[in-house]
A and B are shown apart, each in its own frame.
Chain A
Amino acid sequence: MAMVRQPLLFARVPPVGRRLLFGLALSVICFLFAFPVLWLILTSLRPESGVYYVHRGTDFTLASFAEVLHEERLVQAFVNSALISTLATVFSLLVTVSSGYMLSRFQGPASRTWFGTIYVFRCVPYISWVLPLYFVAQSWGIYDTYIGLLLPHIAVHICFFSWLMKGFFDGIDPSMEHAALIDGCTRWGAFIRVALPSAIPAIAALAVLCWLFTWNEFLFALILTGNKVPMITVVMAQFVTEMGLRWNLMAATAVMALVPAFLLALFGQKYVIRGLRL
């Protein structure tokens, strides 16, 4: 055994040339992947006069950020986006964890029907139900309100997250819950006190994904909100046409919109990777 392993282990260490090439290729790939974001950050730091030739000149300033922060509508959009994303995450998880648990723990016609339903609705393009939702929202008087944007945002995650949650619960051995049931625990008790704690890594992963999806979502906000509830993505898209020539402000706004998502992803990365591996 050791005779076979020894040369193998040795062969795994590549020669210096290959190693250099590998390192070079990786650096180039990383650079290409990060470049658009780096360019955006660089643009946001350039003064108005230097923005058209970002690659020339060396003056940098934070003035664009200050100017953007004075736009009341933008600040409001940031607050709204953060609020809706957080609320949507909490409620989506409440709703989909239980639905995924049901899909995982029960077989039979009810479970199969529910699974078929969420698969079909997962395929339906957003536009096919958000477009008519526009007049549903208007007739219920929830157009351009928090609740009118929040509820569809919760609804949109039901299909995909129930499906992911089913996968997570499938990977958790149900024998502990059986034991709890035999010991006189109710089904709710078995679900909440036994199954739920072991699903926490998966729930954390979904929370990160859900927050990012909502923060980044555009179409819902475009159709379901007007002036009263501006969302950050919509405001930015309007900027492109209205302030088309003021790229430094555009870039500053975009950078600020990236920061929360980056922080969350940075801290949440390990949960997402661990959660998706389950």
Chain B
Amino acid sequence: MAVARRPMFGEQQRFMLFLIAPAALLLLLFQVLPIAIGANASFRDWALYNPKKVWVGLAHYEAVITDPAFLEVVLPNTFLFMVISVLGALVVGLGLALLLNRPFRGQKIVQTVLMVPLMVAPVIAAIMMRWMFNDQFGIVNAVLEGLGMEGQPWLVQRWTAFGVILLTDIWLWTPWFTLLLLAGLQSLPREPFEAAEIDGTSTWRVFSHLTLPMLQPVIVVCVVIRAIDAFRTFDIVWTLTGGGPGRSTELFSLYAYVLAFLNLDLGRGSAAAIVGGLIILVVGIVMYRLVDRVTKS
């Protein structure tokens, strides 16, 4: 490219601009602009039924960050959800990737079956789980009772409901980890593993001293992408519990949605959305540093 670069300097700039212009324009109109408008609304008295649009300063932010529901339920829920669902899907996904990373008969079929959750809409997954964990007619309780154990009203107790939400999310996202980690495993160099096999190294040591360190960059990238997505989870919680019982399983996205569209307070809802956005931005930047360090070392 160095050959062509110098005589076409202005032209190159134009070319670059044209390449990103449509994307940049859409980003500007449908993300930057709404965020700016939301930021503006978050400083104003903006009830949906009666938008006075009077400047109220930081009152909404104060209300959000001093709201006990936000501090004691929503934030801990969101981070707990992020950590457990990402770790759970990572562990199961890595296990499956290791299992699939060897030739055996019927591998194609197994791989296809394990990819099934990837195609299922989160809303549908939530509906399925809601039906399976139904306290009266659900198969889970039927099986438990068949085994002589007591059925649980899964979705009307805080921690069992939270557990079902986590299970749904892990089920949904495990294949994603499997797919990417399997691709990572298959791109690892062969020689170290062959050497270990000749030395008679135990399977566990091969895993912990060879596979895991060599796979680390892929794992870190997967975890970062997934963690940022897990923070904004909305659909499965909305469909499974609606944030209930009470508000005990609300996550951050749900909290902002409820404020804006059920309490009809767009101002405070926007403030909550921005607070959450700032939190994840900080988390995202810290994680970006982590990725940078891991991939460079």
CB pair A261–B121 under 8 Å, yes or no, is: yes
List A contacts of B256 (CB < 8 A): 127-128, 131
In the complex, the answer to whether A124 meets B117 with C-beta atoms within 8 Å is no
Known: A29-B96, A127-B256. 4 other contacts (CB 8 A): A39-B139, A125-B252, A219-B253, A254-B124
Contact yes or no, B27 A121, CB < 8 A: yes
How does the 8 Å CB contact mask read for A180-200 relative to B, with 1 for contact and 0 for none? Answer: 011000011001000000000
Are the CB atoms of A126 and B232 closer together than 8 Å? yes
A3–B239 CA distance with the chains assembled, in angstroms: 61
Q: Say whether, besides A125-B280, A133-B34, A236 and B123 are in contact (CB < 8 Å).
A: yes
CB of B99 within 8 Å of the partner chain: yes
B277 to A251, Cβ gap below 8 A?
A: no
- Mark interface residues in A21-47 (1 if CB within 8 Å of B CB, else 0): 010011001100110110110010000
Report chain A residues within 8 Å CB of B239: 218, 237, 240
Mark interface residues in B125-166 (1 if CB within 8 Å of A CB, else 0): 101111110001101001000000000000000000000000
- Chain B residues packing against A (C-beta within 8 Å): 1, 3-4, 8, 11-13, 15-16, 18-20, 22-24, 26-27, 29-35, 37-38, 41, 96, 99, 104, 110, 112-125, 127-132, 136-137, 139, 142, 171, 174, 179-180, 183, 186-187, 194, 197-198, 228, 231-232, 234-235, 238-239, 252-253, 256-257, 260-261, 266, 269-270, 273-274, 276-277, 280-281, 283-284, 288
- A55 with B31: in contact, given A125-B280, A269-B115 (CB under 8 Å)? no
Interface pair A131/B257, CB less than 8 Å apart: yes
**Closest chain A CB from B296 CB (angstroms):** 16
* Inter-subunit contact B20/A216 (CB<8 Å): no
25 CB contacts below 8 A, A to B, read A8-B194, A26-B99, A30-B114, A33-B171, A36-B128, A37-B116, A117-B27, A118-B27, A123-B280, A124-B281, A127-B256, A128-B277, A131-B38, A132-B273, A134-B260, A182-B3, A187-B15, A216-B121, A216-B124, A219-B234, A237-B235, A237-B239, A254-B124, A264-B119, A273-B179
Cβ distance B233 to chain A, nearest Cβ, rounded Å: 9
Please name all residues of chain A whose beta carbon is closer than 8 Å to the beta carbon of B288 when the two chains form the complex: 119
A136 interface contact, C-beta 8 A: yes
**A interface residues (Cβ-Cβ under 8 A, vs B):** 4, 8, 11, 22, 25-26, 29-30, 33-34, 36-37, 39-40, 43, 51-55, 94-96, 98-99, 101-102, 105-106, 110-111, 114, 117-136, 151-152, 154-155, 158-159, 162, 174, 177-178, 181-182, 187-188, 191, 212, 215-216, 218-219, 222-223, 233, 236-237, 240, 247, 250-251, 254, 257-258, 261-262, 264-266, 269, 272-273, 276-277
CB distance from B77 to the nearest CB of A (A): 15
Give A36 to B122 CA distance when docked, in angstroms.
13
Residues of B within 8 A of A123 (CB): 228, 280-281, 283-284
Name the 4 nearest CB pairs between A and B, nearest first.
A132-B38, A216-B121, A123-B284, A125-B232
Interface of A is mostly: helix
Give Cα A130–Cα B114 distance, bound, in whole angstroms.
Answer: 32
Note all chain A residues with C-beta closer than 8 A to B281. Answer: 120, 123-124
Give complex CA distance A233, B179 in Å. Answer: 25
Cα A120 to Cα B22 with chains together (Å): 18
Query: Do B34 and A132 touch across chains, with their CB atoms under 8 A apart?
Result: yes
Residue of B nearest to A234 (CB): B123
Q: How far is the CA of A114 from the CA of B21 in the complex (A)?
A: 11
Say whether A125 contacts B35, CB under 8 Å: no
